[in-house]
Amino acid sequence: MANTPVDSIPARRVLTDPAGLARYQHDEAEWAPYGTPIAVVRPQSTEEVRDVVRHCLTHRIPVVPRGAGTGLSGGANAVDGAIVLSFEDMNRIVHIDAAERLAVVQPGVVNDDLRAACAEHGLWYPPDPASSPWSTIGGNVATNAGGMCCVKYGVTRDYVLGLEVVNGLGEVVSLGRRTAKGVAGYDLAGLMVGSEGTLGVITEITVRLRPARPQERTVAGYFASVVAAGEAVTAVTASGVIPSALELVDRHCLAAVDAWKKMGLSADADVVLLGRVDTPGAEGDAEAELVRNCFERAGATWAAVSTDQQEADALFQARRLAYPALERLGPVLTEDVCVPRTAVPEMLARIERTAARHDILVANIAHAGDGNLHPLIITPPGDEAARARAQLAFEDILDDAIALGGTVTGEHGVGLLKMRGMDKELGPAVLGMHHAVKAALDPHGILNPGKVLGSGPAAAV
């Protein structure tokens, strides 16, 4: 095919048949639109990525970078006539430097594989999205992914030291640094984190590592309502304890996990709040007890510091299984709002009112400790009326998050699903700055067009 880079990439790594293309058309975002690419290319080096981008510049072909396709906002969805760059073959851990506590990786490295490799050196890479067994570091960087332990340890941006990027002119550039400190120039590496492939194509990532973490203590609490569990989150925040995780799982999620994995979790609680503390020694023991006390004072029907590590791990595994378990019930439209931690109870109450108002099932999981809520809107397969109500509920939840001083996305990214919400959150002046940056770094508008900023002045190919 004349408009695909067959000459520079071996044919076995260029897919053009319809069956092959179909597997790369969209990510996991329900209802986000997607198109049909003209090819999927699986590069194995920065030079090959550069060659593809230059080919696309010459022919004005859109370029859509793709990791594992686990995204939940449509950021990796193909557009008609695009070339999808799949990084599945660029999956090498280039280097782990134990002395400097950093790792250099290609974008297709799976999150948990990096964490396992770091553990062999007594080191730890903290960002841990629920998709960590499958999602890639490149995708995590593209969306600035968070995770369960980010309440204490921060998100992906906090661990990116440097990036190798192919920019919108087909140039290979190095951004950031490998030193512990550095303020030379603008933070262009930080700008790339969370840009969802719209400002450059990331080909190598240098991440900061931490020493292996201490053993965690798990605190579990059962609650009669999500609002009561939200009050417990506020109490923990006010106590001064910074937990290494504070996760909420409601009755709908617990029931779905039980129906799938037979774990018996939904018999005793409508909502489970899971806290973890990793401060060593007696201080950590005291913090765990304080978290338990916060749960009780907020109205927990039962709360305890776990003495059974296997049981504690099973509870957190149920948290990770909630999303795929709910997918078995029907299409899931996933929210990702983040509000101030003191607003968590009110936001959860508003979500419940929204579900009732639109007569739609909304399940709740949350990185509750940092206010990042994931209302999961489930509709019966093929029910178009329910789908229409779900879309209204989705927009209402975004509006409520903004009204409470929050944001429309904490870690999943804007992609295609959150553009209206982002426009409302940021306002015209700030959106104008975004468009100016996009035009400067992608002057021909070929990099993941139509995402994040929609069809603005720099998005048309």
Give residue-wise pLDDT tens across range 207-227: 999 999 988 999 999 999 999
Report the share of the chain in percent with pLDDT over 90: 85
Report pLDDT digits (tens) over 149-178: 999 999 999 999 999 999 999 999 999 999
Q: Average pLDDT for residues 336-351, to the nearest whole number? A: 96
Predicted confidence band of residue 32 (pLDDT cuts 50, 70, 90): very high
Report pLDDT digits (tens) over 128-154: 998 999 999 999 999 999 999 999 999
Q: Average pLDDT for residues 175-197, to the nearest whole number? A: 95
Question: Is a pLDDT exceeding 50 seen at residue 2?
Answer: no
Predicted confidence band of residue 283 (pLDDT cuts 50, 70, 90): very high
What is the pLDDT at residue 316?
86
SS3 329: coil
Environment class of residue 91 by beta-carbon count within 10 Å: exposed (0-12), middle (13-18) or buried (19+)? middle
Q: Which residues pair with 66 in a beta bridge?
A: 86
Would you say how long the chain is, in residues?
461
Predicted confidence band of residue 4 (pLDDT cuts 50, 70, 90): low
What is the pLDDT at residue 234?
96
SS3 330: coil
E strands of 209-244, at which residues?
210-211, 217-223
Q: Average pLDDT for residues 381-385, to the nearest whole number? A: 93
What is the pLDDT at residue 136?
98
121 and 115 Cβ atoms separated by less than 8 Å? no
What is the pLDDT at residue 459?
40
Report pLDDT digits (tens) over 411-430: 999 999 999 999 999 999 99
Report pLDDT digits (tens) over 246-270: 999 999 999 999 889 887 777 678 8
Residue 442 tokens read as 């992608």
CB atoms within 10 A of CB 56: 24
